Structure 1
């Protein structure tokens, strides 16, 4: 892979990528294995939107992630797995072993009538078999849809039905810190309303008793004994679908972001190799879950496409002690650590002793993902983890972008705390005002858009192309709208200032306010609710719910718990509000629109600038909410 090694080289490469994008990406793509080269590098228009990269090319992404490394690096560790339980031995899968396991499980899928184009839902713990399942789908051309293990039965059912999944891969249960999650039980509840699912393959992991339905449910361990390891990779077109990943939007229904085989592979591999300055034999540790895009791109596809060693961690950074993450780094001599500001802030809360007690001398590069990292956390990360010798790549990107977009390149880009710095080659950001006028120059801020396609971008939202167009390409003409506000400073460096739509970034995961409101409103006692984000010292943003709950005789604490339970059942614990304030009304315009801007100010404790509230249906409601909020 062509790596950038100096700032001068970055500037030249960036210039080429903007002036001759097709020549630039063609050069990058040629470092991958293709069965047939492309007829055309790029055709696009953003008004449809319709984007195609490497048209006419044939490939299989698993041949790039596995087969091509076998001859020279077959015995090299591909995946190192570290258990939730520190007493348990870690497991290492070499490229040869991983290849065999993927081929074997791909044959299990074929034996169960899964073929190219079929959708497969994966709801599993962070175990090696999860990576195997993902790659096995890609091997035979099935489309995987991984659902994070914290989502509820209803959330899973919505996703399975939206994609018409034919098969589900799950496990009896999962460990997360001191908690055990009953995955199979949740799947059983979800599948009551999922007619498209024909088979469920269940991995034994926690040895929790589970119910197995005759004719539908199969044990993972039994199935792999019935097949061999010979599974030629299915030939795919560059624009064939690789996976669907559901993400929250500003409406209640999650949307299935679609990524395709060729462009996604090229982009994930290129950004991984360059941003982290990955060197052969290094151990790369991304602490994300494969249920999110970060895990797809930087635990599985990006590292494996480059023949890297990727570390998978089942547990949480603070279990069983606050030193656990540092012990894992020390144990496996990790060279590159890629984690979230939420984890960093949480670990900061335990003081310096746990981190200072570990040998972190193997670390060479640090990375941050999911949300902008605040200055205090950046400096702590730099001093205590990197010992002031490791560059920090503060990466901005999204589920929809497929890979890193604006980020320092390790050892190349001069960094600045809390700034994502500069766009990567091939990425053309613009800032626009509310009317869509491009804001030129430096020392300005606006809404962040991208004006030219890049290979890793989403192609559509599954089953609803119109929604893709409306969400991302209709706000501003001929631009991809990210939904983020952004500042460009005097040096031309970019700093993401937060969402400008009705989406909250909680611990680096986007949660739509409408989704949470819908869940709260399902509670029998609730008349109406409004949800906003507010600053949270660990999560970055917390969820603040204003709820009209007219039964004054009920126990307020119990009612809050009931509402939290409802949200957990409908979406999952990840979307539980941090604060619930019971109110008699919500600030609304005369036309009935809830003024979330006012509620956001109240939630932030900033009531000095609420604007003109005299035009509201009932201005007195605002005073009442302010008074109640002061008492929380």
Structure 2
């Protein structure tokens, strides 16, 4: 058992974990951390040596500028070295490490009983085949490929095939709308789209191909060069027959079919929509794969060549295309995965994140595969078909390391301990959280009920932009405090600044910034380097600015206090208030809108919207429904407002700026407004307070 928390409120790993850990003590962490900061070239070069490099770097190991007053912002790690990340994830593991027969992924479908597994050598063959397909479609190094797919193995195959030939993948979360997909295709000028026919998320049918078609129509209207769409037959796969007779569940991959062959599964009884088809544009994945060669020479890329683009919400409303590069991203995701989850060869690892988000890129695909890990890839929802689904999967695959979001933990907490205790979970060794700060109550439930007080929790803080973990405990080394992201990862140097940009020492609260680059930091915003500099480096020259508030306690532990810009964190997904506001204002009845965050018992934060109507318009339930629908269609279901309040007027400064600080107070019914001397019309505030929505805290 883990030691009980001491009087100082610290929780520690059990001795059994410490004995086999890569970093077994706080003293070991501190020594390695010191070296990583004082001698970053040597520290990261040692990690880089674990990988295959076609050519070594010619110039300095690291060159950078974080200070906008001294010229262009740039970061270069190992420039001149050449490698291929797909080769390192697959070929190296199959050929050098002899892991060809090791399982890379256990795929668990939306329906229990719908599952498959794929080994490293099978994954390598599929990736080579699809890389050849991409080349036949005219995709070459530097081209951008948009991927809009559910959580299926073909998604991993598609992204690694892009990496193999030096094309950039731009993955769009399959919950995003046609507008969001179109915007991302246009911004990065994608030459190809890869999608699937349809999928079920719980009991809800998502007609993915139909949404993709809508997006392509919108792209065509805007002169997009995208000509073709490759479609995986996922939901319709039962209709296909695999020639070797192993299984009829999927044309491109063999499913584990003992359950399927013995009895009809729920998914096979379900409605399968007819896939809309345009023979001039659309191509079936399985038909293209049929005759593709299983051998494909990788494209050797410079360490600083672009690997992928992933869009994250921007405070201006237009999503930013975050760019990560080959070499630095590879060694950083590999190192963080190994040390943060204390990975060992016999582990079964499960990250519940969707690959459409950075967590799925770094800690479901690149980090685990770089370490030769076996992972679970889950298509479904935590409470479908029942609230024990997560725990049943943990027992089914004997999961040892489990990584999920505080939103999921709070959701499952609501159902009590019984659904958890129905299952053994004895295999679990390390638990992790990602996406937002975890409240101490949820942390303790996760620790005590799910992990039975024997599994340390790694509460990881990082961003799409950072590429990997930047503040995090290490399971055997870091005494844990519920809700704290604890200490920086190797090579990461945090600081806390006040409003004037002064560094604060000791106990402090302010802006969280970083003083020097680590290998996995983003390099630019795609097609807009100026925006990269303005967003992350202009406010405090010489520092990377996270946009998050942070406090450091007397013991040096870091606690993330939330966004300090116009961003919201809903269920671990970053949303821009400007993006939601513009979606609301597009409705013909709305003249102005302001969106703020409101605490939510499950999602952490939710959207509280104030809308001002045009003259002559009435605020009705029907209008509220229309506005919610509009936001869903423009952005996606994750952005659906929880509360919409009619606001005949909004609190503004005399210069006309909306005072969101006051709106946040109104949303929470907090009368302590602070200084209101700059409000142009104080009567507006009283009116809004007396007409608040009934909220749940």
Q: TM-score range by the shorter chain?
A: over 0.9
Root-mean-square deviation (CA, aligned residues, Å) is 1.3
Structure 2: 5+ residue stretches without partners: 1-20, 237-272
CA contact (8 A) 1:145 1:243 kept: yes
Q: How many angstroms apart in 2 are the aligned matches of 1:212 and 1:235?
A: 36
* Aligned position for 2:42: 23
Q: Deviations over 1:453-504 (max 9, x none)?
A: 0000000000000000000010101100000000100110000000000000
> Residue 590 of structure 2: SS of its match in structure 1?
coil
Specify the alignment match of 1:531 in structure 2: 595
Alignment of 1:479-558 (within 5 A): 479-550=543-614, 554=618, 556-558=620-622
Residue of structure 2 in register with 1:378 after alignment: 443
Q: 2:54 aligns with which of 35, 38, 43?
A: 35
Q: 2:338 aligns to what?
A: 273
> Is 1:585 aligned to 2:649, yes or no?
yes
Aligned to 2:411: 346
Aligned pair partner of 1:199 in 203, 213, 228:
228
Give the Å deviation of 1:553: 6.5
2-side partners of 1:32 and 1:124: how far apart?
30
Distance 2:293 2:47 in 1: 35
Q: Does 1:78 align with 2:130?
A: no
CA distance in structure 1 between the partners assigned to 2:618 and 2:40 by the alignment:
63
By how many angstroms is 1:552 displaced?
6.8
Alignment of 1:192-341 (within 5 A): 192-194=217-219, 195-207=224-236, 208-341=273-406
The residue number in structure 1 matching 2:10 is: none
Are residues 1:461 and 2:525 paired? yes
| 1:394-436 deviations in Å (ceiling 9; x for gaps) | 0000000000000000111111100000001100000000111
Task: Give 2:138's aligned residue.
Answer: 113
Within-5 A mapping of 1:604-623 = 604-608=668-672, 610-623=673-686
Contact 1:125–1:175 under 8 Å retained in 2: no
The alpha-carbon distance between structure 1 residues 402 and 553, as it changes in their structure 2 partners (threshold 3 A), is closer
Q: Tell me by how many angstroms 1:252 deviates.
A: 1.3
Q: Judging changes above 3 Å, is the alpha-carbon distance between structure 1 residues 617 and 193 closer, same or farther for their aligned structure 2 residues?
A: same
1:175 and 2:200 equivalent?
A: yes
- Secondary structure of 1:93's partner? strand
Q: Paired residues, what number?
A: 629
User: 1:575, 1:86 → 2: CA distance?
Assistant: 29
**Displacement of 1:555:** 6.0
CA contact (8 A) 1:124 1:174 kept: no
Q: How does 1:564-603 map to 2 (within 5 A)?
A: 564-603=628-667
Q: Contact 2:619/2:646 (CA < 8 Å) preserved in 1?
A: no
Aligned partner of 1:12 among 19, 31, 50: 31
Deviations 1:326-360 (A, max 9, x none): 11101000000000000000000111110011110
Give the corresponding residue for 1:61.
85
Distance 2:605 2:619 in 1: 28
Question: SS of the counterpart of 2:402?
Answer: strand
Contact 2:145 2:168 in 1 (8 A): yes
Q: CA deviation at 1:550?
A: 4.2
Kept after mapping to 1: 8 A contact 2:23/2:476: no
Aligned with 2:119 (options 84, 94, 119): 94
CA distance in 2, matches of 1:146, 1:563: 28
Q: Relative to 1, partners in 2 of residues 1:553 and 1:247: Cα closer, same or farther, differing over 3 Å?
A: closer
Q: Report the secondary structure of 2:671's partner residue.
A: coil
After TM superposition, the structure 1 stretch with the greater mean CA deviation from structure 2, 70-79 or 282-291, is 70-79
Segments of structure 1 that go 5 or more residues without pairing to the other structure are none
Cα pair 1:550 1:584 within 8 Å, conserved:
no
In 1: Cα distance, 2:414 partner to 2:615 partner? 39
Q: Does 1:560 align with 2:618?
A: no
Q: Tell whether 2:443 aligns with 1:390.
A: no
The CA distance in 2 between the partners of 1:502 and 1:107, in whole Å, is 44
Partners of 1:489 and 1:324 lie apart in 2 by: 38
Q: C-alpha distance in 2, partners of 1:238/1:630?
A: 53
Q: Map Cα deviations across residues 120-147 of structure 1 (whole Å, 9 max, x no partner).
A: 0000000000000010000101100000
Tell me by how many angstroms 1:630 deviates. Answer: 6.0
SS of the residue corresponding to residue 545 of structure 1 reads strand
The TM-score with structure 1 as length reference comes to: 0.98
Pairs within 5 Å for 1:399-438? 399-438=464-503
Give, in whole Å, the separation in 2 of the partners of 1:263 and 1:241.
Answer: 11
- Provide Cα deviations, 1:214-255, integer angstroms capped at 9, x if missing partner: 221100111101311110111000000000000001101001
CA-CA distance at 1:583 after TM superposition: 1.1
2:183 alignment counterpart = 158
